[in-house]
Structure 1
Amino acid sequence: MKLNKIEHVFFDLDHTLWDFDKNSSLTFLEIFKKWNISLKLEEFMEVYIKVNLKYWELYRDNRVSKEILRYGRLKDSFDSLKYTTSDDVIYGLSKDYIDFLPRNKHLLDGTLEILQYLKRKYKLHIITNGFEEVQRKKMATSGIAEFFHTITTSEEAGVKKPHLLIFKIALEKAGATAINSVMIGDNYEADILGSEKYGLQSIYFDYYRSSEISDIRQIQTLKDLVKFL
């Protein structure tokens, strides 16, 4: 069912438009060679994706700092794989990861097509919990920055989704209201519950196709947005 009276579409970035898993894998492939890390990339990524998600949840809840997140997700992944290396190497990998990651530019299937489709009718915006210095580079490198009127990051807002203040700041920047806006994202708690609590409508992107929630608007591919917008 089409959403009515929508003028502004707010997107999350990672796992919603920007292919975080693929770009992250390519980054680790590059920096593992630089630092002579002798792990199979597939085995590492299987562990890292889960550990990284855990740390982002902790970061979102203000239970770890940015620095602890960057170090801890690598240290815990190595420990899980019983791979021993020094803290100096981990800190070096952590820095290189942030530097190298936004150089990769893979988008999820259908990203450019759906943005082209939506921009004809709506003003498009980004709300992201990602780091300020990285997210804007990702968007520029991948060629999607031009589609968006505003970008609101958690570092700019001083709080992270699902905190209501980040949605307030994003809507004010966009000149939008909750009534004429919709939020699209892959994190049910941060993107969907947070935005709806502030009064926006939402569309849940079931990125990993694991949702057991049935009473919300949801998509499994970006092209499915045409059902609602």
Structure 2
Amino acid sequence: MIKAVLFDLDNTLLDRDESIIRFIESQYSRMKYIFIDISQYYYVNRFIELDKQGYEPKEKVYNVLTQELSLPVFARDLLYEDYMNHFHQYCVPFSHIIDTLSNLKQSGYQLGIITNGLTDFQSASIKALRIEGFFDLILISEKEKIKKPNAKIFQRALNRLQLSPEEAIFIGDHYENDVKAAENAGLRSIWKIRNQEVESQFPTFSDFTELIFIIEKLQ
């Protein structure tokens, strides 16, 4: 019987694509004096290319941007610190998340987040989404000193919830780091996909209105 539903954060609960666009557009506008003869369109799109869906270290992203765009020497650190300090102000959740989490909680499930990333940065994003109160457990890789796809971080979550692997589901957007990794740790997996059809051995969804029905089918 499933007793817990665990989630990834970025691109699962947090609409990171929309959030990053909002932040980078704002960063350009707030620091326009740095970007002489560089359009907002180019800056935003080049950042997104270099960012690689969040998997490229931001120090490297801003280092490349500073060099490519011939920005002032101080720009790299200034832009990076701005990202670290202010990204959370532009965080937006996917649609229907609050209703979904509320329904899951009312149905008696324990809820958790397992996310890779820096502790303060990811904590600020979770708080910005106003979802922190729904969760019985939040594991962030920097604090735990383990990161997905290592099975130990899933096992640690289960130990803290006092559950066996078959009593939990993990939901994430990354096939290797989330879906396969959770399966390898003995949990069931649900794959959050973008708005496209994929062939998969795992249940998939793109809209949170579908999720509760999928979980009920797995009971």
Q: 1:201 to 1:137 in 2, by over 3 A?
A: same
Summarize the alignment of residues 17-56 of structure 1 with structure 2, pairs less than 5 Å apart.
17-36=13-32, 37-38=34-35, 39-53=38-52, 56=55
Q: 1:124 to 1:40 in 2, by over 3 A?
A: farther
User: Who is 1:64 aligned against?
Assistant: none
Summarize the alignment of residues 1-229 of structure 1 with structure 2, pairs less than 5 Å apart.
5-36=1-32, 37-38=34-35, 39-53=38-52, 56=55, 69-77=57-65, 82-121=68-107, 122-207=109-194, 209-210=195-196, 212-229=198-215
CA distance in 2, matches of 1:9, 1:148: 10
1:16: how far off?
Answer: 0.7
Q: Kindly report the root-mean-square deviation, in angstroms, between the aligned alpha carbons of the 2 structures.
A: 2.1
Q: Is contact 2:66–2:75 with CA below 8 Å preserved after alignment? A: no
Q: 1:210 to 1:76 in 2, by over 3 A?
A: farther
1:114: how far off?
Answer: 0.9
CA distance in 2, matches of 1:109, 1:78: 35
Q: Secondary structure of the equivalent of 1:228?
A: helix
Deviations 1:21-66 (A, max 9, x none): 222222222222332243444443433334222762x6xxxxxxxx
User: What TM-score, normalized to structure 2?
Assistant: 0.87
1:222: how far off?
Answer: 1.4
State the one-letter code of the partner of 1:133: D
Q: Secondary structure of the equivalent of 1:124?
A: strand
Q: Secondary structure of the equivalent of 2:120?
A: helix
CA distance in 2, matches of 1:124, 1:104: 24
Q: 1:211 to 1:172 in 2, by over 3 A?
A: farther
CA distance in 2, matches of 1:87, 1:20: 28
1:91: how far off?
Answer: 1.4
Deviations 1:93-124 (A, max 9, x none): 01111110112241111111111111112111
State the one-letter code of the partner of 2:199: I
Unaligned runs of 5+ in 1: 59-68
Q: Secondary structure of the equivalent of 2:191?
A: strand
CA distance in 2, matches of 1:211, 1:73: 31
Q: 1:163 to 1:128 in 2, by over 3 A?
A: same
Q: Is contact 1:104–1:142 with CA below 8 Å preserved after alignment? A: no
CA distance in 1, matches of 2:46, 2:210: 30
Q: Is contact 2:193–2:205 with CA below 8 Å preserved after alignment? A: yes
1:220: how far off?
Answer: 1.3
CA distance in 2, matches of 1:14, 1:55: 8
Q: 1:31 to 1:226 in 2, by over 3 A?
A: same
State the one-letter code of the partner of 2:19: N
